[in-house]
Chain A
Amino acid sequence: MNPDFSPLSALMGGALIGLSAGGMLLLHGRVAGISGIVGGLLHPKPGDVRWRAAFVLGLLSAGVVSLVAGFDAFPYTLDRAPWMVAVAGLLVGFGTRLGNGCTSGHGVCGLARFSQRSLVAVVTFMATGMITAVLMDRLLGGA
């Protein structure tokens, strides 16, 4: 087991994510799916912009709060060339829109609704994610 394994903070942070997703559902009737929320901002429809922008602003504000609090939350210690990071971003952007969701929409929200589509999506992206991470580790010698 990795020495960085942190089950308590993972569970606590996860619970906050679940609280947010549950709040989006019961208070606003929305799925807290980040790729869907952002995708809708890129091609805005009238009356459908404000809540999306507000949620993304909230996400960014969480980053600001961590910075101000002096919490080193954003280390990028992976050995990845900039072009690899760019390819990764392209795949994540294109793939999440094509597949209608990401870790939040299909994972946190879809699985909690027992959606079969989301289950298939989660199993698929977990599988290709694991294959990719294992191969990269073999190719580059360590994360």
Chain B
Amino acid sequence: MRATMSVYLLGLLFGAGLVISGMTQPAKVVNFLNIAGSWDASLAFVMGGAMGVNLIATRLMPRFAAPIFGGVFALPTRTDIDPRLVGGAALFGVGWGLGGFCPGPALVSVVGGASEALIFVGAMLGGMALFHLADTTVLAPAKPAGEAGKA
């Protein structure tokens, strides 16, 4: 129960960070991606701040035998660069530049009730389900062993 509460608070913290940094405003995201327009570099500062702080945690990790709330460190172990990784990232980027949302900000924005956020999240969940369907049918032979690549 305490572990679940902790995860909940970390989710709240993550969401607060997205709101404070302006990443729940799709125009701000697109103004970063549109390098040929009136450029807003804020997103680079969000990524820099997040990575900088998270880097400290990843540096500290080897000092811990196990996570503080127990269990094991469930980290991705794959190192291969395969077509799925590149193709998936490419498709994601197109959707990101088109709608101005990536998954986290889209979820937080649902609460705001804008029709775009609702449409986006509905379609995103549909896309995830569609992937699962494709993954277990047409894409199945290409799937490497294990699920360790999850990032």
Contacts and interface: CB of A to CB of B under 8 A. Distances in A.
A14 B91 contact: no
Contacts of B100: 76, 78, 80, 88, 143
A118 B75 CA distance: 13
Nearest to B56: A22
A76 B26 contact: yes
Interface of A: 1-7, 9-36, 38-39, 42-43, 50-51, 54-67, 71, 73-78, 80, 82, 84-113, 115-118, 120-122, 124-134, 136-137, 142-143
Given A73-B24, A100-B149, A15 B49 contact: yes
A128 to B, nearest CB: 3
Contact of A143 (B13, B30, B55): B30
Q: In this complex, which of B6, B53, B117 has the most chain A Cβ atoms within 10 angstroms of its Cβ? A: B53
Top 6 nearest A-B pairs (CB, nearest first) are A58-B11, A99-B88, A93-B127, A62-B15, A13-B21, A14-B49
A62 B106 contact: no
At the interface, is chain B mostly helix, strand, loop or mixed?
helix
Given A36-B150, A58-B14, 12 more contacts: A13-B46, A29-B71, A34-B102, A42-B132, A55-B8, A58-B15, A89-B119, A99-B84, A102-B104, A107-B47, A129-B94, A132-B94
Contact of B54 (A58, A71, A109, A128): A109
Interface residues of B, number: 122
Interface in B105-148: 106-117, 119-132, 134-135
A93 B131 contact: yes
13 contacts: A2-B31, A18-B49, A26-B61, A58-B13, A80-B100, A87-B95, A89-B106, A89-B119, A92-B99, A93-B131, A108-B51, A126-B93, A137-B37
Nearest to B28: A4
A31 B121 CA distance: 21
B124 A92 contact: yes
B23 to A, nearest CB: 7
